[in-house]
Structure 1
Amino acid sequence: MMTVLFAVSMLLTSCYSYTSVVGNGAQGNSKTTAWNHYVIYGLAPVGVSNSKQMADGAENYTVHTRQSFVNGLVSAITFGIYTPTTTTVTK
């Protein structure tokens, strides 16, 4: 039983995350954050943020999209019907 619990806990430790660098990447510490809205375990997008618009015309910026703890908690509470992610643009 302890082996199964350990294996399950190891499988659930990481959060969904990816980073994209545009141009030379972020040149400062100015950050803009927005939630992306998906339904049915993330299969159908309902409202997705526009990173280019969030960069507000900057040519060099970094986009980091992840499923944070709060996003995962909301997804768990709704049994995966609503699955949000968070996008942060640093310029």
Structure 2
Amino acid sequence: MKRSVFTSMLLVLFTCTMLTGCYSIDHVVGKGGATTGEIDEVRQWYVLFGLVPINEVDTADMADGADDYTITTEFTALDVIIGIFTGIVSVYPRTVRVTK
């Protein structure tokens, strides 16, 4: 009986880990960034399960005065891996990328 419960719990944990989704949100400013353009990437951190930001990411500063750029906010596979360890204390990252 105990082995069956352990196996079931392990299966649920594995399923939850594999079903975490990655997302990406793009904001195009002007004509957008070139696909081969310069990329500036930072990690934004949240506490309380994503409700309160810890650091502030200034995308205008990351764009460095460019008129045409793309801002991509995403939850990457690396963010998932980091979140496995930091999620215990309700801290979660996400990646913000500016392509000029």
> 1:15 is matched with which residue?
22
SS state at 1:35 partner: strand
Deviation of residue 72 (structure 1)? 1.2
Amino acid paired to 1:62: T
Amino acid paired to 2:94: T
Structure 1 residue 62 corresponds to structure 2 residue 70: yes
Structure 1 unaligned spans of 5+: none
In the alignment of these two chains, the number of paired residues is 86
Q: Segments of 4+ in structure 1 off by > 6 A? A: none
| Structure with larger Rg | 2
Structure 1 residue 76 corresponds to structure 2 residue 51: no
Structure 2 unaligned spans of 5+: 1-7
Amino acid paired to 1:72: V
How many angstroms apart in 1 are the aligned matches of 2:76 and 2:44? 12
What is the TM-score normalised by the length of structure 1?
A: 0.81
Amino acid paired to 2:62: M
Deviation of residue 80 (structure 1)? 5.9
> 1:50 is matched with which residue?
58
- Residue identity (%): 33
Higher helix proportion, which one?
2
Cα 1:86–1:59 change in 2 (3 A) is: same
Amino acid paired to 1:90: T
